[in-house]
């Protein structure tokens, strides 16, 4: 453990710009949900109507949590937001531990650190301590915000503690995965799969008898029942599991070679196949797993949204205040709901597009771009190969959501025509997604080092403007700076081609300008 405190200070310094955004995102989710829920369901009668409307809707329960939480307004906030905040904090913990352990070994920086007076377990201990501090900070901020919006203090403290416990558990899971797998992509894929399994087990348990929810870390957190039961003892499950997983990770660390994993990487063939014949094929090969994961996730999200489309009219009839949050109000409730869900999905797809485009910078800084560019492959071909995945992948992921929502909604109303209809509605948001991708490419060309921060700030800005502009009473010019504000809100409004063409022209201009910058600068700097 020698050197662990110094390493922790170093990691805190490295994360001083990125970590606050994770904390801000989780806190804003709770702030907005708590404020809106108390405005909508501030009386016992309104809360009773809500229980009657969604208490028997299996799709809503699967997305949110156990219906016992609906017994109080604070519990309703937890019902709506807990699973999503838990996923955000779990991903934060996963990336913090993975980035400062396995990724450091891959790049060779961990070897330089270990050459100093640093113990074998110090890097892992520092990474876990960093994730733990981040989880505690997230839980504290959530408790303060929840209590500050008027919810009971005791329940707010339990709410924050439950979120912290989930984050700590997934940090420990990542520590074990780091010892097993030899590259960070495999680590993130394995932990993300476990996170998805935790969500599915929780959903299946809440819809059924509740037994399966006890097999899920997210279920453990929800079954503390903040504001409705205030049970602290379920937190023993994630805390004990985390301690055991950390002990397992430490034991595995002593038994593996530095830089390697317990599961060795499978050697590739001596000669590349046709699937790696050019830069385009290589880019698709490198990102196919990530693309598949995003597509599956968006399909499932579309199915969840579409399955409750038929009941939205009754829901708004029982809770007329909800119409204020739908685009167009209550004039056409179903189409307003569909426009809202597709717009939300487009923001998620924008996050995929930004993360995919930033792989260009990752290939540069890791040194993998140089061997490719040392061949007859030009910079234009290399950039176009990576962008082919990003642009086409964004379209595929957005289409996957539209098909999933259309299929689920079409089944509930016995109308197969909803599938192509909602697929087209989803693709109407593609120009706005591509413009955010183009902004990242522009930054990669002329300001590569802050390109990641600029890309994620753009996604965050568009998300806040799209989802919370009315709640925050933002000025009109602030809203108009987002390309999603100029995207027609189909199917609620007619499809207007002019703004979409303008957005595409701006995206094309940014892509060309970004390539011009890439031609002029050194690769890797």
**Tokens representing residue 43 in the block:** 């009386």
What is the tens place of the pLDDT at every residue in 71-90? 899 999 999 899 999 999 99
CA atoms of 50 and 39, how far apart (whole Å): 13
CA atoms of 147 and 73, how far apart (whole Å): 13
Question: How far is CA 446 from its chain centroid?
Answer: 27
Can you give the C-alpha Rg of the chain in angstroms?
24
Confidence of residue 185 (pLDDT cuts 50, 70, 90): confident
Closest CA to 341 of 42, 63, 93: 63
pLDDT at 516 (0 to 100): 95
Q: Taking a C-beta distance cutoff of 8 angstroms, is the pair 96, 131 a contact?
A: yes
Closest CA to 351 of 466, 487, 458: 458
CA atoms of 36 and 228, how far apart (whole Å): 19
pLDDT at 378 (0 to 100): 93
For the chain, the distance separating the N- and C-terminal CA atoms, rounded to the nearest angstrom, is 34
Whether residue 504 is predicted with pLDDT greater than 70 in this model: the reply is: yes
Look-up: residue for tokens 């110090």?
A: 122
Q: Taking a C-beta distance cutoff of 8 angstroms, is the pair 119, 1 a contact?
A: yes
Q: What pTM was estimated for this model as a whole?
A: 0.81
Cα-based distances in Å from 272 to 291, 374, 381: 22, 17, 19
Confidence of residue 189 (pLDDT cuts 50, 70, 90): confident
Whether residue 480 is predicted with pLDDT greater than 60 in this model: the reply is: yes
Mean pLDDT of all residues in 259-280: 80
Q: pLDDT above 90 covers what percent of the chain?
A: 54
Neighbour-count burial of 16, counting CB atoms closer than 10 A to its CB (0-12 exposed, 13-18 middle, 19+ buried): exposed
Look-up: residue for tokens 């707010």?
A: 156
Confidence of residue 193 (pLDDT cuts 50, 70, 90): confident
Which 3 state secondary structure label does DSSP give 293? helix
Other C-beta atoms lying within 10 Å of the C-beta of residue 383: 21
pLDDT at 472 (0 to 100): 65
Longest dimension (CA), the chain: 71
Whether residue 239 is predicted with pLDDT greater than 90 in this model: the reply is: yes
Question: How far is CA 311 from its chain centroid?
Answer: 27
CA atoms of 15 and 191, how far apart (whole Å): 21
What is the tens place of the pLDDT at every residue in 122-145? 999 999 999 999 999 999 999 999
What is the tens place of the pLDDT at every residue in 314-359? 666 666 666 565 665 544 778 888 888 999 999 999 999 999 999 9
pLDDT at 315 (0 to 100): 67
Backbone dihedral region for residue 264 (phi beyond 0: left; psi -120 to 50: alpha; all else: beta) = beta
């Amino acid at each position: 453990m020698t050197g662990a405190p110094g390493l922790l200070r170093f990691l805190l310094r490295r994360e001083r710009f990125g970590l606050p955004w994770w904390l801000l995102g989780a806190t804003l989710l709770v702030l907005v949900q708590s404020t809106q829920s108390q405005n909508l369901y501030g009386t016992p009668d309104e809360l009773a109507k809500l229980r009657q409307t969604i208490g028997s809707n299996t799709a809503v329960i699967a997305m949110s949590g156990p219906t016992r939480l609906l017994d109080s307004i604070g519990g309703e906030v937890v019902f709506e937001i807990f699973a999503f905040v838990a996923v955000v904090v779990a991903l934060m913990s996963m990336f913090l531990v993975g980035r400062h352990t396995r990724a450091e070994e891959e790049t060779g920086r961990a070897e330089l650190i270990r050459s100093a007076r640093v113990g074998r377990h110090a890097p892992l201990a520092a990474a876990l301590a960093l994730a733990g501090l981040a989880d505690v900070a997230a839980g504290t901020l959530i408790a303060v915000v929840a209590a500050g919006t008027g919810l009971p203090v005791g329940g707010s403290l339990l709410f924050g503690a439950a979120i912290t416990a989930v984050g700590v558990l997934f940090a420990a899971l990542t520590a074990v995965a780091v010892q097993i797998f030899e590259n960070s992509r495999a680590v993130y894929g394995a932990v993300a799969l476990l996170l998805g399994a935790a969500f599915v087990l929780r959903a299946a348990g809440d819809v059924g008898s509740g037994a399966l929810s006890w097999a899920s870390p997210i279920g453990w957190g929800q079954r503390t029942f903040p504001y409705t039961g205030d049970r602290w003892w379920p937190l023993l499950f994630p805390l004990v599991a985390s301690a055991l997983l950390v002990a397992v990770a430490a034991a595995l660390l002593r038994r593996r070679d530095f830089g390697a994993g317990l599961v060795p990487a499978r050697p590739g063939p001596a000669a590349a196949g046709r699937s790696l014949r050019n830069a385009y094929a290589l880019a698709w090969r490198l990102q196919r797993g990530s693309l598949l994961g995003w597509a599956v996730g968006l399909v499932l999200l579309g199915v969840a949204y579409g399955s409750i489309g038929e009941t939205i009219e009754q829901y708004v009839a029982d809770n007329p205040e909800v119409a204020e949050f739908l685009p167009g109000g209550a004039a056409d409730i179903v189409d307003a709901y569909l426009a809202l869900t597709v717009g939300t999905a487009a923001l998620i797809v924008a996050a995929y597009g930004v993360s995919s485009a930033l792989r260009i910078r990752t290939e540069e800084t890791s040194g993998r771009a140089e061997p490719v560019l040392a061949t007859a492959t030009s910079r234009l071909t290399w950039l176009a190969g990576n962008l082919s995945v990003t642009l086409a992948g964004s379209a595929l992921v957005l289409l996957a959501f539209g098909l999933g929502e259309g299929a689920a909604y079409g089944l509930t109303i016995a109308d197969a025509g909803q599938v192509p209809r909602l697929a087209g509605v989803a693709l109407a948001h593609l120009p706005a997604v591509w413009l955010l991708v183009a902004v990242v490419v522009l930054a990669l060309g002329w300001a590569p080092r802050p390109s990641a921060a600029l890309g994620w700030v753009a996604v965050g800005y568009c998300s806040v403007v799209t989802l919370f502009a009315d709640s925050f009473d933002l000025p009109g010019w602030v809203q108009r700076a987002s390309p999603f504000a100029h995207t027609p809100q189909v199917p609620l409004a007619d499809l207007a081609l002019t703004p979409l063409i303008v957005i595409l022209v701006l995206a094309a201009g940014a892509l060309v300008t970004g390539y011009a910058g890439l031609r002029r600068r050194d690769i890797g700097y």
